[in-house]
Amino acid sequence: MAQVIGFIGLGIMGRPMAHHLLKAGYPLVVHDRVRDPVDELQKAGARTAGSPRDVAAACEVLITMLPNSPDVELVALGPGGIVEGARPGLLYADMSTISPIVSQKVGQALAAKGVRMLDAPVSGGEKGAIDGVLSIMVGGEQAVFDTLLPIFKVMGKTITRLGPLGFGGFTKLANQIIVAVNLAALAEALTLGKKAGLDRELLLTALAGGLAGSKCLEQKRSNYLAGTYNPGFKVDLHYKDLGLIMESARELGVPLPTTAVVQELFSALRVKGRGGLDHSGVITLLEDLAGASP
């Protein structure tokens, strides 16, 4: 019989991930602070729970997909949290992008209750979550990874164990450096093309066929063509990730000069009230600076 899975956090990414688990035949218990996605999953066949504690008490495997480190700490260790409902043997995968140091702290606290934890952040954005082709970067014990691998395969395509708990998070931060810098580079390139009078669709096609081609260009192409930046992954969330990156870099003694500049671009976007845009919306700032806004 399939393991009962608990899923906490049904936002842009978590909602489609949870749907994939249901479609794969896993019994699912869900919780979120927002009622609409809970109702949606309930109609699709999931059970609901009123708190993280209740989810933990009802499942054998628990997944969280939450915005930031404080959210994971609260859900895992706070009042009514996972720690209060967990039984020995519970397997817990946090698939949020948070501080790897916090992942290790949470893992140590839950280990005292007999819970074995993986950090397993993902890359691929909303489209990757909807298509079930996320890249999942995992830290934690090999045995727990092996047990949860069939579950990860329902939600992702590339699943890699990097090492002990926290290593998934460090890998995700490295991923977010590349994505943020790539999006900023695309913004500059496309703004240059716009000022030069190039046809954007033809420009994107030409760039995609050479060394400048990337997943970012491919996935964000429709945004650039439409000039609209509805969130698949919000500027606010990537700005949060950039903060985690710089914090980790300081602790490890790693200079990240390019990332620091991109962080300031994202900061400026938020000052302009554009934190809710998709992160490819960094182009709107470059267009403003170049006097090339629509």
**Is the distance from CB of 270 to CB of 257 less than 8 angstroms?**
no
Q: How far apart are CA 274 and CA 151, in angstroms?
A: 35
Tokens representing 256 are 């990240």
273: left (phi over 0), alpha (psi -120 to 50) or beta: left
Crossing angle of helices 235-252/257-271, nearest 10°?
150
Q: Tell whether the torsion through CA atoms of 271, 276, 279 and 281 is positive or negative.
A: negative
Tokens representing 246 are 């710089």
The residue from 23, 113, 157, 172 that is catalytic is 172
**Strand, coil or helix: what is 49?**
coil
Q: How far apart are CA 91 and CA 147, in angstroms?
A: 9
Tell me whether residue 172 is one of the annotated catalytic residues. yes
Tokens representing 46 are 């999931």
- The neighbouring-strand residues paired with 163 are 139
DSSP state of 210: S
Q: How far apart are CA 83 and CA 234, in angstroms?
A: 30
Q: How far apart are CA 294 and CA 292, in angstroms?
A: 6
Which amino acid belongs to residue 206? A
- The neighbouring-strand residues paired with 7 are 30, 63
Question: Which residues are designated catalytic?
Answer: 172
